[in-house]
Structure 1
Amino acid sequence: MSAAGARGGPVGVALVGAGVISAQYLKTLSGFPDIRVLAVADLDERRAADVARAHGVPVAGGPATVLALPEVELVVNLTVPAAHAEVATAAVRAGKHVYGEKPIALAPAEAEKVLAEASERGLLVGNAPDTFLGAGLQSALRAVAAGDIGAPVAASTVVQGLGPEAWHPDPAFFYQRGGGPLFDLGPYYLTSLVALFGGVSRVAAVAARARTERAVGSGPKAGQTFPVDVPTHVSALIEFASGVRADAVFSFDSAPRRTRFEITGTEGTLAVPDPNTFGGPLELLPNGADEWRELPVRGRTDGRGLGVLDMARALRGGAAHRASGALALHVLQVMTAITRSADRSEFTRPETQPVPPEPLPADWDPAEATLIQPRPSPPAPRWRG
């Protein structure tokens, strides 16, 4: 364990990347007594300062400023996908544990380098999505483990809509390498499927791109066009090493917005909550029944940041964290295999087989102060811009 991980008390956290998603993380992380949010960084230091002030974070500046803070033990990397590996590497070389947004990198080889360097330095790597740690998916895991649908046989997932350009003020990166519906939305579904059924053994896929150009729909750039460099509709067949099969559709080309996640077993079917959310509902249709029955959803539904908290507790206590870099690497390999299959019209295989993360204990409480040493005083406010 690194020197940072050997400390006691709440874990000092900094965010790198002050874009749209940072507000969701800050809202959640600020409510966890086991975490102290100390700094916000961005290449646009004025934006970092604005976000820090809005959320009462004491330090803001450029990435180098944040990485130099000795109080920061864990960096939450919220940059655009193209910068994920670079920022994670910088954090690791600064002696920080790192938790990143999805995908962990643009290519598996980049992710493998980050994980290898972190391991050499005794540092932890975690990665979004952590939605599978929410009450909805954890309740689904417990229902499957309890045999509510018998033995799992197959799963079917669909997520489709018209893409994020209608609401996002700067959506071009969603349509560059590392984006598209597969890399943007796919991690939620694929991570949940791996948590449920274990590693993927092989995939087959087809893909399409409806338009080569799209337009920003809101904000100061409204009306500006940008190129589409990735497929915007992907259909995949997925086989797990456990023997379960799944079909999945990821699309930015559909006017009706739909999500579906169903698991079929020998004794019934489970309708799983949208894995891009943390709550319910969770419904069961036993074989021969005429109506779906709602199952209880137990646990907290705090939002983005549960994986950061689980990782913070793990680095203090030495347990394995669940939204791990190894899990994220496998999901990236699966998405890369899906892309390769669509290009080559053949089954392809990911390179690793991860151990599925352990379910959260039924009494796991994000609001509990498990790291009970007194909090040191935070750094004095330092905002730039």
Structure 2
Amino acid sequence: MNLHTIVSLGLLLALVVVVVSSKRSKKGVGAQQLDHDRFVVAGYLPEYRFYIDVSEAGKHLTDLILFSVAPNADGSIQYFVNEDNLRAARKAKHDNPKLRTIISVGGGGRSKHFNAVASDGHTRQRFVGELLDLCEKWKIDGVDFDWESPMNEHQISVYIRLLHEAHAKLNPKGLLTSVALHPGQTLGKEGFMSVDRVNLMTYDMSFQRGGGHHADYNSFKQAIQQMLGQGQLPPEKLIVGIPAYARHSTKLANVKSYAEIIDEKLKEAGAVDMPGPTAEKLDPNFISRNEHNKFLFDCQLSAQKKTSYAKSMGLGGVFIWEIGQDKFEHKVSLTEAVMIVGNGTRVMTKAELSSVYDPAGTGGGSYQNNSPPLTAHDLGSAKERRRKKREEKKRAGMHVEL
């Protein structure tokens, strides 16, 4: 065997090692291949909703987000989800091999110590280390940060630092890092570079208007336009929210879950004790009606309409807050309806796109800006951008290895 042959074989072997390493690098500690090109249909599940069949819900999701843990002031973890919840999530992954599980950090009423932890290098390091340990122990595929909410430039700055350090620690392990934001919030280009996803909470928007539908379609679109219009966030990183609950049109503090709305409709129709599937007991128009006794919500068709818009804009996906509020029955479930459009073969017709009954009025448009509306054409192909990014990473990795 001559020297040229030996060198060629050596280079070929190095290339094989690089390819194998590249494939392995996409696996999280959950030991599964993470399909980053699949349209995300995520669902948050709080610890107080684990009475649902988590494995059954997982059939209609790409990502299950466990809500939540929180930082203590010393950088340790405060657990709201418990070991039984974590076992149920791990079983759901076993039963649904393509399902990712993600742990949520913070949230409303659970963000008290974010500032103390994010402001100190030692506590940041400890907190990120404990989150990594949690992921490794329970085969979790990522961390979703939800500080509600940084109040000044200093807090935004240290939050970005926390996200940056978390991403630097989690990413080499194949773990996702995401951040949840309200419409109008931003972390700037630096902050957005430190995360794989941004979960935009496109609901509860009626508080700014003082009434109406808290998640109407126009406000949903305008919140997306505002976020992308800054030119700092790639659209494929943006995941947008769909609520599985209703708010009263004028008494905004009054809330009902989507499941409660369906049960009320059954009761009013005198169909509670009738045999047969729920979908057959309801008025066939229920899939396109998003108002019931002055409570406004996303019906199946409006949830699908939002999903269709997200896909047309090249966004990374949608998420549901929260799946414990859904009515998990065939042809009734919001989650099922969203997944059919998100990752199924169903394409909405023009008639369907225009037929959703929206009695609250889309009025006001709290998130309008002065720039022309963006279109999917303006943003280019998200899939093509992801492909080029993967090729650049692959070339860079081959160069280093060889």
Fold shared, TM-score > 0.5 on shorter chain: no
> Rg: which structure is higher?
2
Asked which structure has the greater RCO (Cα within 8 Å, sep 6+), the reply is 1
The structure with the largest strand share of the pair is 1
The structure with the largest helix share of the pair is 2
Q: Normalising by the residue count of structure 2, what TM-score does the alignment of the two structures yield?
A: 0.31
